[in-house]
Copies of this chain bind each other. A is one copy, B any other.
Amino acid sequence: MANAADCAYAVIRASILDGTFAPGSRLKEAELVEFCGVSRTPVREALRRLAAEDFVRIQRNQGAEVKTWSDDDLDDLFDLRALLEGHAAAAAARQISAAQLEQIRAAIVEMDAVLASSAPQAEQVAQFLRLNRVVHETVWEAAGSGRLQSMLGRLVEQALIAHTARHYSLARVAQSHHHHRELLDALAAGDAVWAEAMMRGHIRAARLTLKVPPS
Protein backbone atom coordinates (compact mmCIF):
# COMPACT_ATOMS: atom_id res chain seq x y z
CA MET A 1 0.00 0.00 0.00
CA ALA A 2 1.52 3.27 -1.06
CA ASN A 3 -0.24 5.53 1.42
CA ALA A 4 0.20 5.21 5.15
CA ALA A 5 -3.43 6.22 5.56
CA ASP A 6 -4.66 3.66 3.03
CA CYS A 7 -2.50 1.07 4.69
CA ALA A 8 -3.92 1.79 8.13
CA TYR A 9 -7.40 1.77 6.68
CA ALA A 10 -6.91 -1.59 5.01
CA VAL A 11 -5.34 -3.18 8.07
CA ILE A 12 -7.96 -1.99 10.53
CA ARG A 13 -10.82 -2.79 8.19
CA ALA A 14 -9.56 -6.29 7.56
CA SER A 15 -9.08 -6.84 11.27
CA ILE A 16 -12.65 -5.80 11.93
CA LEU A 17 -13.99 -8.06 9.20
CA ASP A 18 -12.04 -11.11 10.32
CA GLY A 19 -13.02 -10.61 13.93
CA THR A 20 -9.63 -9.58 15.33
CA PHE A 21 -11.38 -6.46 16.58
CA ALA A 22 -14.69 -7.71 17.89
CA PRO A 23 -17.83 -5.59 17.70
CA GLY A 24 -17.96 -3.22 20.64
CA SER A 25 -14.23 -3.26 21.30
CA ARG A 26 -12.53 0.06 21.75
CA LEU A 27 -9.99 1.13 19.14
CA LYS A 28 -7.38 3.33 20.80
CA GLU A 29 -5.27 5.38 18.44
CA ALA A 30 -2.04 4.63 20.28
CA GLU A 31 -2.62 0.89 19.97
CA LEU A 32 -3.45 1.14 16.29
CA VAL A 33 -0.26 3.13 15.75
CA GLU A 34 1.89 0.15 16.64
CA PHE A 35 -0.55 -2.29 15.11
CA CYS A 36 -0.35 -0.55 11.74
CA GLY A 37 3.20 0.79 11.99
CA VAL A 38 2.28 4.34 11.02
CA SER A 39 1.82 7.50 13.05
CA ARG A 40 -1.40 8.78 14.57
CA THR A 41 -2.27 11.09 11.72
CA PRO A 42 -3.00 8.39 9.13
CA VAL A 43 -4.53 6.18 11.83
CA ARG A 44 -6.97 8.94 12.64
CA GLU A 45 -7.77 9.40 8.98
CA ALA A 46 -8.43 5.69 8.63
CA LEU A 47 -10.76 5.74 11.64
CA ARG A 48 -12.72 8.65 10.22
CA ARG A 49 -13.12 6.82 6.95
CA LEU A 50 -14.26 3.70 8.74
CA ALA A 51 -16.71 5.80 10.72
CA ALA A 52 -18.09 7.30 7.52
CA GLU A 53 -18.65 3.78 6.27
CA ASP A 54 -20.32 2.74 9.51
CA PHE A 55 -17.65 0.25 10.51
CA VAL A 56 -16.81 2.08 13.70
CA ARG A 57 -18.49 4.64 15.89
CA ILE A 58 -16.61 7.74 16.94
CA GLN A 59 -17.68 9.90 19.84
CA ARG A 60 -16.01 13.21 20.50
CA ASN A 61 -13.06 12.89 22.81
CA GLN A 62 -14.01 9.30 23.48
CA GLY A 63 -12.39 7.53 20.61
CA ALA A 64 -13.63 4.84 18.31
CA GLU A 65 -15.17 1.46 18.85
CA VAL A 66 -16.19 -1.27 16.45
CA LYS A 67 -19.84 -0.81 15.69
CA THR A 68 -22.25 -3.35 17.08
CA TRP A 69 -25.34 -4.39 15.20
CA SER A 70 -28.57 -5.14 16.95
CA ASP A 71 -31.11 -7.51 15.48
CA ASP A 72 -33.27 -4.53 14.53
CA ASP A 73 -30.31 -2.90 12.79
CA LEU A 74 -29.83 -6.02 10.73
CA ASP A 75 -33.52 -6.14 9.83
CA ASP A 76 -33.22 -2.55 8.74
CA LEU A 77 -30.06 -3.25 6.78
CA PHE A 78 -31.48 -6.24 4.96
CA ASP A 79 -34.74 -4.44 4.20
CA LEU A 80 -32.76 -1.77 2.43
CA ARG A 81 -30.55 -4.31 0.77
CA ALA A 82 -33.57 -6.17 -0.57
CA LEU A 83 -35.01 -2.95 -1.93
CA LEU A 84 -31.77 -1.79 -3.55
CA GLU A 85 -30.54 -5.15 -4.80
CA GLY A 86 -34.01 -5.83 -6.17
CA HIS A 87 -33.92 -2.51 -7.96
CA ALA A 88 -30.45 -3.29 -9.28
CA ALA A 89 -31.58 -6.69 -10.53
CA ALA A 90 -34.53 -5.16 -12.34
CA ALA A 91 -32.34 -2.55 -13.99
CA ALA A 92 -29.78 -5.20 -14.86
CA ALA A 93 -32.40 -7.38 -16.53
CA ARG A 94 -33.19 -4.50 -18.88
CA GLN A 95 -29.67 -3.76 -20.01
CA ILE A 96 -27.17 -6.42 -19.01
CA SER A 97 -24.48 -7.12 -21.58
CA ALA A 98 -23.65 -10.53 -23.00
CA ALA A 99 -20.24 -10.38 -21.34
CA GLN A 100 -21.76 -9.70 -17.95
CA LEU A 101 -24.28 -12.50 -18.37
CA GLU A 102 -21.43 -14.79 -19.24
CA GLN A 103 -19.52 -13.69 -16.16
CA ILE A 104 -22.43 -14.66 -13.95
CA ARG A 105 -22.85 -17.91 -15.78
CA ALA A 106 -19.16 -18.71 -15.32
CA ALA A 107 -19.35 -17.94 -11.61
CA ILE A 108 -22.29 -20.30 -11.24
CA VAL A 109 -20.44 -23.04 -13.10
CA GLU A 110 -17.52 -22.54 -10.75
CA MET A 111 -19.89 -22.79 -7.80
CA ASP A 112 -21.04 -26.13 -9.15
CA ALA A 113 -17.45 -27.31 -9.18
CA VAL A 114 -16.81 -26.06 -5.67
CA LEU A 115 -19.90 -27.73 -4.25
CA ALA A 116 -19.11 -30.98 -6.05
CA SER A 117 -15.53 -31.02 -4.81
CA SER A 118 -14.35 -32.89 -1.79
CA ALA A 119 -12.68 -29.91 -0.17
CA PRO A 120 -13.31 -29.25 3.52
CA GLN A 121 -16.66 -27.62 4.10
CA ALA A 122 -15.19 -24.37 5.41
CA GLU A 123 -13.15 -24.08 2.24
CA GLN A 124 -16.20 -24.79 0.09
CA VAL A 125 -18.19 -22.10 1.86
CA ALA A 126 -15.38 -19.56 1.56
CA GLN A 127 -15.09 -20.20 -2.16
CA PHE A 128 -18.83 -20.02 -2.55
CA LEU A 129 -18.98 -16.66 -0.77
CA ARG A 130 -16.31 -15.27 -3.05
CA LEU A 131 -18.23 -16.35 -6.14
CA ASN A 132 -21.44 -15.10 -4.59
CA ARG A 133 -19.84 -11.70 -4.36
CA VAL A 134 -18.88 -11.87 -8.04
CA VAL A 135 -22.47 -12.61 -9.03
CA HIS A 136 -23.86 -9.75 -7.00
CA GLU A 137 -21.26 -7.23 -8.08
CA THR A 138 -21.84 -8.08 -11.70
CA VAL A 139 -25.53 -7.42 -11.25
CA TRP A 140 -24.81 -4.07 -9.59
CA GLU A 141 -22.48 -3.14 -12.38
CA ALA A 142 -25.04 -4.11 -14.98
CA ALA A 143 -27.56 -1.87 -13.26
CA GLY A 144 -25.41 1.02 -14.44
CA SER A 145 -25.58 3.25 -11.38
CA GLY A 146 -22.32 4.06 -9.66
CA ARG A 147 -24.15 5.41 -6.69
CA LEU A 148 -26.25 2.31 -6.27
CA GLN A 149 -23.13 0.21 -6.65
CA SER A 150 -21.24 1.96 -3.88
CA MET A 151 -24.25 1.98 -1.57
CA LEU A 152 -24.72 -1.74 -2.00
CA GLY A 153 -21.04 -2.40 -1.52
CA ARG A 154 -21.20 -0.68 1.82
CA LEU A 155 -24.38 -2.37 2.94
CA VAL A 156 -23.01 -5.79 2.09
CA GLU A 157 -19.81 -5.21 3.99
CA GLN A 158 -21.67 -3.99 7.01
CA ALA A 159 -23.62 -7.22 6.87
CA LEU A 160 -20.34 -9.12 6.66
CA ILE A 161 -19.29 -7.89 10.09
CA ALA A 162 -22.35 -9.55 11.55
CA HIS A 163 -21.46 -12.70 9.65
CA THR A 164 -18.04 -12.89 11.25
CA ALA A 165 -17.35 -16.28 12.74
CA ARG A 166 -20.76 -17.55 11.71
CA HIS A 167 -20.71 -20.66 9.60
CA TYR A 168 -23.09 -21.41 6.82
CA SER A 169 -24.82 -24.71 6.44
CA LEU A 170 -24.39 -26.44 3.12
CA ALA A 171 -28.17 -26.54 2.84
CA ARG A 172 -28.27 -22.76 2.98
CA VAL A 173 -25.56 -22.53 0.39
CA ALA A 174 -27.46 -24.86 -1.90
CA GLN A 175 -30.56 -22.67 -1.59
CA SER A 176 -28.51 -19.62 -2.52
CA HIS A 177 -27.13 -21.50 -5.46
CA HIS A 178 -30.62 -22.17 -6.76
CA HIS A 179 -31.48 -18.51 -6.39
CA HIS A 180 -28.47 -17.58 -8.46
CA ARG A 181 -29.42 -19.98 -11.21
CA GLU A 182 -32.91 -18.64 -11.43
CA LEU A 183 -31.66 -15.07 -11.25
CA LEU A 184 -29.49 -15.83 -14.24
CA ASP A 185 -32.51 -17.15 -16.11
CA ALA A 186 -34.46 -14.01 -15.33
CA LEU A 187 -31.60 -11.76 -16.42
CA ALA A 188 -31.04 -13.73 -19.62
CA ALA A 189 -34.75 -13.46 -20.37
CA GLY A 190 -34.60 -9.72 -19.76
CA ASP A 191 -37.48 -10.08 -17.31
CA ALA A 192 -37.06 -7.24 -14.83
CA VAL A 193 -40.00 -8.21 -12.63
CA TRP A 194 -38.79 -11.79 -12.31
CA ALA A 195 -35.21 -10.74 -11.63
CA GLU A 196 -36.29 -8.27 -8.96
CA ALA A 197 -38.49 -10.83 -7.24
CA MET A 198 -35.76 -13.45 -7.23
CA MET A 199 -33.21 -11.05 -5.85
CA ARG A 200 -35.50 -9.82 -3.08
CA GLY A 201 -36.23 -13.38 -2.07
CA HIS A 202 -32.55 -14.19 -2.16
CA ILE A 203 -31.74 -11.35 0.23
CA ARG A 204 -34.60 -12.13 2.58
CA ALA A 205 -33.43 -15.70 2.80
CA ALA A 206 -29.93 -14.50 3.59
CA ARG A 207 -31.30 -12.44 6.46
CA LEU A 208 -32.77 -15.57 7.96
CA THR A 209 -29.35 -17.18 8.06
CA LEU A 210 -28.20 -14.58 10.54
CA LYS A 211 -31.26 -14.94 12.72
CA VAL A 212 -31.10 -18.64 13.31
CA PRO A 213 -28.04 -19.43 15.41
CA PRO A 214 -25.82 -22.09 13.88
CA SER A 215 -26.45 -25.47 15.41
- Contact status of A145 and B80, CB under 8 A, knowing A60-B3, A151-B151: yes
> What B residues does A83 contact at CB under 8 A?
83-84, 87
Residue-wise, chain A 38-78 has the 8 Å CB interface mask toward B (1 for contact) of 00010011001100110000001000000000000000110
Instruction: State the number of copies, please.
Output: 2
> What B residues does A44 contact at CB under 8 A?
45
Query: Which residue from B79, B84, B151 sits with its C-beta under 8 Å from A145?
Result: B79
- In the complex formed, the residue of B with least CB distance to A53 is B52
- How many chain A residues touch B (CB < 8 A): the figure is 22
- Contact status of A76 and B147, CB under 8 A, knowing A49-B48, A49-B52, A83-B83: yes
Contact A147 B77 (CB under 8 A): yes
Nearest Cβ on chain B to A147's Cβ, whole angstroms: 6
> What B residues does A77 contact at CB under 8 A?
147
Query: Which residue from B3, B45, B80, B151 sits with its C-beta under 8 Å from A48?
Result: B45
> What B residues does A80 contact at CB under 8 A?
145, 147-148, 151
CA distance A41 to B48 in the complex (A): 13
Nearest Cβ on chain B to A151's Cβ, whole angstroms: 7
Q: Is A214 an interface residue (CB 8 A)?
A: no
> What B residues does A49 contact at CB under 8 A?
48, 52
CA distance A113 to B42 in the complex (A): 52
- In the complex formed, the residue of B with least CB distance to A44 is B45
13 A–B contacts from the bound complex (CB under 8 Å):
A2-B60, A41-B41, A45-B45, A45-B48, A48-B49, A49-B52, A52-B53, A76-B145, A76-B147, A76-B148, A79-B145, A80-B148, A83-B84
